[in-house]
Structure 1
Amino acid sequence: MSQATFRVGASAESANGLPATINESLDILEKIGTDTVELPLLWMELVANGEVMQARLEELRQALAGRPFGYSAHAAIGINFMSDPVYLDLHVRLARAHLAISAELGCEHMVLHTGFCPPYFAKPQIEKLYDQQRETFLKLGEEAKAAGVVLCVENIFAEKGNRLTATPSQLAKELRLINHSHVMACLDISHAALHCDSLGLDLMEEAGALVPLAKHVHIHDSFGRTGNIPVHTQQEALGLGVGDLHLPIGWGNLPFDEIVCLDRFPKDAIFNIELNKHRWHAIEETVVAARRVAKIAFEQSRPD
């Protein structure tokens, strides 16, 4: 790993929920030489009813044995600490199970999404759910600290107008209110662009607010255009340039170089590539591009 840049990694692929199927993508990433790998816990059958499936965890451990990477992990997308309080315990149990797996496998970061709720909720309802989310992250942050894992809360976007979720600047405010050493941010640049497009916000202002808290960065390209047009295939979405496409860097039009210069990233940030499974033919060129962006960010973030 170069001492002149932040670390660069990529999210591994697995098939049919089986941990052993991660080996093919790990072989490719080892050949290319990424610094880290993000383990896709969200795609793996590792947890049942909030309990870790120990036999499956052992399969994953064996797949990782002897590999040269540092690791991060991505918890389930559906975890939502702004859920109906009746279901909150289910979300917390799954988050705890994924945190236990992350710690067991030596993951430095565990990414999980910020919360969301229906867009028609009244302001007092929304504020109460934000309170619930902060309280939950504070408790989980203490558990993460004891486990040696940093929780990195990822900004998402209002999918086709059917959910309300924090903008990047709102997420930054929430994280500052939580004010916990082991509850930081994951800045997803494409998600930020899509959210700004749907709400008419300024991408530079929104992304810049989250940069100083972003120990983890998800880097993949798109056209920052909300996916409100019905599509039938990934190829149609690409042709129209709509939605969260997870493209190789340079295939879309996101201003990565400008965004990573908006402020200083935290020390030891990880820039992690999240490439659509149909675009893995371009993984090597994407790693090269991501290293260039990470180097720009590092130069911007060095002390004067």
Structure 2
Amino acid sequence: MKHGAFAVGISARNRAGDLSDLGDELDKIEALGVDLIELPTFDYDLVIGGRIRAPQLATLQNACAGRSVAYSVHGPLAINLMDEPARAPRHLEVLEASLDVAQAVGALHYVLHSGLTHETEPAKLGDAYARQRELLTRAAELARERNLIICVETLFEYDGWKHASSPKRLAEEIAIVDHPHIMATIDFSHSYIKLDADGRRESFVEEIAALAPVARHLHVHDSFGRQDDLWVYTQGERLAYGNGDLHLPVGWGDIPWTQLLEECVFPEGVVFNIELDPRYWHAARECVDFTRGLASRAQTKGYGGRSKVA
């Protein structure tokens, strides 16, 4: 087991829809001294009707070229592999195009949200999980062809969805798929909120530890794990109550980072990628430094015979 086999990254922001300011954005991020930049390609207008928009992709590639950092890509949030069967072809079409975008910029990891469903009846819920496993297996081969690792991200229920996987359940699903190009993204805040909603906050560290060995990619930001369940007038008021997925600088919330690092073992090359709300970008350097200090204490070890990308 090793300490320190990690990279620290941060997600870029999208300010101009035509990406005309992306080069400036990436310059500012590089100046923070990160190892990796995550590109929110879901918000870059790169895929239209399932097809890549070539001029926009060229703009993205030009902005990314010649830099000292690595890249990961966060694809469309709407891709839902637990959705109704009739929608599966559309989800796969957008996923494949998005993987092509990731390959075009030389990304290491492709972040895919884990499935959501309205089903709660056990048999139908089981069917939804089976669909996701089947589609993940197909997606894994698409990723293999492009030398990418798909990292499936932990979620919580929102916008009326009735079921999202807990970290431990996601670990079980990835184990069943058992493919070297399917790993996990732990979003610590998402998982904290999910377990709070399930009445199991006390199991947070245990659940994260169950998923950590296959989590090549981490989304690092802080929150209080509370439901966004009361009316507030402004985002500042939401912050005052500590409700919801706040995307705070690390250390501003109450996620037990020290305990997590003591009890979790991650794969070698794990990426600690910061997802910071633009409202708190003034604290980006502070957050990068804090996160690098945390990540330097991460316990890591090799994961079987799986492909080493990062």
TM-score (norm. length: structure 2): 0.92
CA-based RMSD of the aligned residues comes to 1.5
Identity of aligned residues (%): 37
Alignment of 1:58-77 (within 5 A): 58-77=58-77
Question: What amino acid sits opposite 1:61 in the alignment?
Answer: Q
Cα separation, 2, equivalents of 1:133 and 1:109 = 19
Secondary structure at 2:265 match in 1 = coil
The reply on whether 1:104 has 2:104 as its aligned counterpart is: yes
Contact 2:7 2:269 in 1 (8 A): yes
Secondary structure at 1:94 match in 2 = helix
Q: Which runs of 5+ in 1 are unaligned?
A: none
Alignment of 1:24-63 (within 5 A): 24-63=24-63
Contact 1:7 1:36 in 2 (8 A): yes
Secondary structure at 1:192 match in 2 = helix
Match in the other structure for 2:115 = 115
Secondary structure at 2:193 match in 1 = helix
Cα separation, 2, equivalents of 1:302 and 1:109 = 18
Alignment of 1:1-304 (within 5 A): 4-119=4-119, 121-159=120-158, 162-201=161-200, 202-297=203-298, 300-301=299-300
Secondary structure at 2:230 match in 1 = coil
Contact 2:72 2:107 in 1 (8 A): yes
Shift of 1:116: 0.6
Contact 1:212 1:265 in 2 (8 A): yes
> Between Structure 1 and Structure 2, how many residues are aligned?
298
Contact 1:81 1:133 in 2 (8 A): yes
Cα separation, 1, equivalents of 2:64 and 2:161 = 38
Q: Which runs of 5+ in 2 are unaligned?
A: 303-310
Cα separation, 2, equivalents of 1:17 and 1:135 = 35
Q: Higher helix share goes to which structure?
A: 1
- Gap change, CA 1:14 and 1:21, over 3 Å in 2: farther
Shift of 1:226: 1.3
Cα separation, 2, equivalents of 1:155 and 1:228 = 20
Contact 2:4 2:295 in 1 (8 A): no
What CA deviation, in whole Å up to 9, does each residue of 1:23-63 have, x standing for no partner?
Answer: 23212111111000001111110001110101100011111
Secondary structure at 1:301 match in 2 = strand
Shift of 1:68: 1.3
Secondary structure at 1:107 match in 2 = coil
Contact 2:225 2:244 in 1 (8 A): yes
- Gap change, CA 1:132 and 1:162, over 3 Å in 2: closer
Shift of 1:5: 4.4
Secondary structure at 1:159 match in 2 = coil
Secondary structure at 2:83 match in 1 = coil
Secondary structure at 1:231 match in 2 = coil
Cα separation, 1, equivalents of 2:155 and 2:17 = 24
Shift of 1:22: 2.3
Higher relative contact order (CA 8 A, sep 6+): 2
Question: What amino acid sits opposite 1:175 in the alignment?
Answer: I
Shift of 1:84: 1.0
